[in-house]
Amino acid sequence: MFRVLLILWVAIGVIPFPASADHSPKIQIVGSTTVLPIASRAAERFEKFEKIEKFKSSHRLRILVNAGGSGVGIHSVARGRSDIGMASREISPSERKRFEGSHLKVHTVGVDAVACVISSEVYDAGIRDLTRQEIRDIYLGKIRNWSEVGGPDRKIVVVDKERHRGTRHVFMNFIFGNPTAKTPGTILVTGSNNEEQTKIAQSDSAIGMLSYAWVNDEVRAIGIRDKKNIVKPTRETIRKGDYPIVRNLSFITAGEPNGEVKAFLEYLKSPEGQQVVEESGYIPFT
């Protein structure tokens, strides 16, 4: 019996060795769930591209993509726990200070809009736009019922995001002028774009903030009203800069990238890479 265990032991210890001697290179990418679809799709295509064009050998480049949010992305690349951090917002001043020694470099690959979204039932009932002040009051808890803004008589389910999320920073910056604003009116806190989308779709009276690419039939984007002007988030308004809540989608490295990481970033900025950005529902940067 001991012999069986011993063999198992040796096997587990030895099996990684042959491969690690000739270790396949890998790129670790962590961060924003908004940027994640771009990274994942690009990773898939780049891996194939690498294999066919460049190496034609057992060297298979592996690109690991993980979620966590913009804050986690920035933190992990600054601390060397990942090669690239994905962020859907700017690096905050406090982060710049904290990670001074890491010399963070930002590589922007696309542009995205943050939409103020509501449950489709509320949208169908007539709410198509809100003013910045109204949104602010909803998140402050001053406006509690959809009827106060011309909607059905239903309590508003105010959905917020985890504080470090890029989408929240950008949204709050526009609504409150402060990326880390406090929102006493919040009923629920979600994490990734997926989770928020789910929650708003499941509810029939929710309001939230979501990357424009995640808008669908159940989760509708509303326009921002400013006196008589209503700006809805569409590819045109985003591209032209009319829609006010936009942000850069970036890949962040600690210092200048080189080797595989550099090649991957160049791929993202190339026409093929930009096509991936567009396919994921965002606006290409170039």
Partner 1 sequence: MSSATFEKGMVFFLSILTLLVSSLLLIILATVFAKGLPALHSGFLIEASEDFGRAGGIFYQLMGTLILMTGAILISLPVALGSVIYQTQYLKSKTGKEICRQSGQVLNATPTILFGLVGYLFFGVYLETGVSWVTGSLILAVMILPTLQVSIREAIEALSDQYKETGMALGLSPWSQIKSIIVPQCYYGIITGVFLGLARAAGETAAIMFAATTFSGIRLPESFSDPVPTLQTHMLVLTQEAANPETLAQAWGAGLVLLSLVFFLTVMAWILRGRLKMEAEL
Partner 2 sequence: MKNESHGVMLVFAGLNLIFLCCAGGLFFFLIFESYPILKLHGFDFWLGQDWWVGETYGALPMLYGSTLVTALACLLVLPLALAVAIFISEFLTSTSRRFVKAVLELLAGVPGIVYGLLGVSFLSLWIKDIFGLLDGNTLATAGCLLAIMILPTVLTLSEDAMRAVPAEYREIALGLGLSKWQMATGVVLPQALPGIMGAVLLGIGRAMGETIAVMLVVGSLDRIPDPWFNIFSSAQTIPSKLGREAAESIGEGTHWSALMALGLMLFIMVLLINFLGNRCLKGRSIS
> Cβ closer to partner 1: 59 or 142?
59
State the Cα–Cα distance between residues 105 and 85, nearest whole angstrom: 10
* C-alpha to C-alpha distance for 218 and 95, rounded to whole angstroms: 36
44 Cβ contact partners less than 8 Å away, ≥ 6 residues apart: none
Beta bridge partners of 42: none
Stretch that binds partner 2, among 20-28, 39-47, 182-190, 239-247 (CB under 8 A): 182-190
260 binds, among partner 1, partner 2, none (CB under 5 to 8 A by kind): none
What's the burial of 9, exposed, middle or buried (CB within 10 Å: 0-12/13-18/19+)? exposed
**Encoded tokens for 78:** 């600054």
Binding residue (CB under 8 A) for partner 2 from 60, 79, 103, 262: 79
* Residue 125 binding target from partner 1, partner 2, none, CB below 5 to 8 Å by type: none
What six digits make up the tokens of 277?
A: 């950005």
Minimum CB distance to partner 2 smaller for 25 or for 191: 191
Options 45, 163, 225, 235; binder of partner 2; rule CB under 8 A: 163
| Nearest one of 156, 159, 140, 157 to 148, comparing CA atoms | 156
CB 196 within 8 A of CB 190: yes
Amino acid, single-letter form, for residue 147: S
Q: Does 186 bind partner 2 (CB under 8 A)?
A: yes
Name the residue nearer to partner 2 (CB basis): 41 or 154.
154
At 227, the amino acid letter reads K
Q: Tally DSSP H helices, then E strands, for the chain.
A: 12, 12
Q: Please pick, from the candidates 147, 180, 202, 270, the single residue that binds partner 1 as defined by CB under 8 A.
A: 202
- Near partner 2 by CB under 8 A, which window of 1-9, 47-55, 104-112, 152-160? 152-160
Stretch that binds partner 1, among 2-10, 127-135, 220-228, 258-266 (CB under 8 A): 2-10
Q: Which of residues 20, 57, 94, 258 is near partner 2 by CB under 8 A?
A: 94
Which residue in the set 89, 107, 168, 199 belongs to the binding site for partner 2 (CB under 8 A)? 199
Tell me the closest approach of the beta carbon of residue 101 to partner 2, in angstroms. 12
Sequence-distant (6+) residues with CB within 8 A of 134 are: 143, 149
Q: What letter does residue 22 receive in the DSSP assignment? A: T
Say if CB 225 and CB 131 are below 8 A apart.
Answer: yes
Task: Indicate which single residue of 45, 96, 120, 191 sits in contact with partner 2 (rule: CB under 8 A).
Answer: 191
Q: Which residue has the tokens 């989608």?
A: 249
Q: Which parts of this chain interact with partner 2 (CB under 8 A)?
A: 68-69, 71-72, 75, 79, 81, 94, 98, 155, 157, 160, 162-164, 180, 182, 186-191, 199, 202-203, 205-206
Q: Which parts of this chain interact with partner 1 (CB under 8 A)?
A: 1, 5, 8-9, 12, 16, 19-20, 23-24, 26, 37, 40, 43, 62-67, 81, 191-192, 194-195, 197-198, 201-202, 218
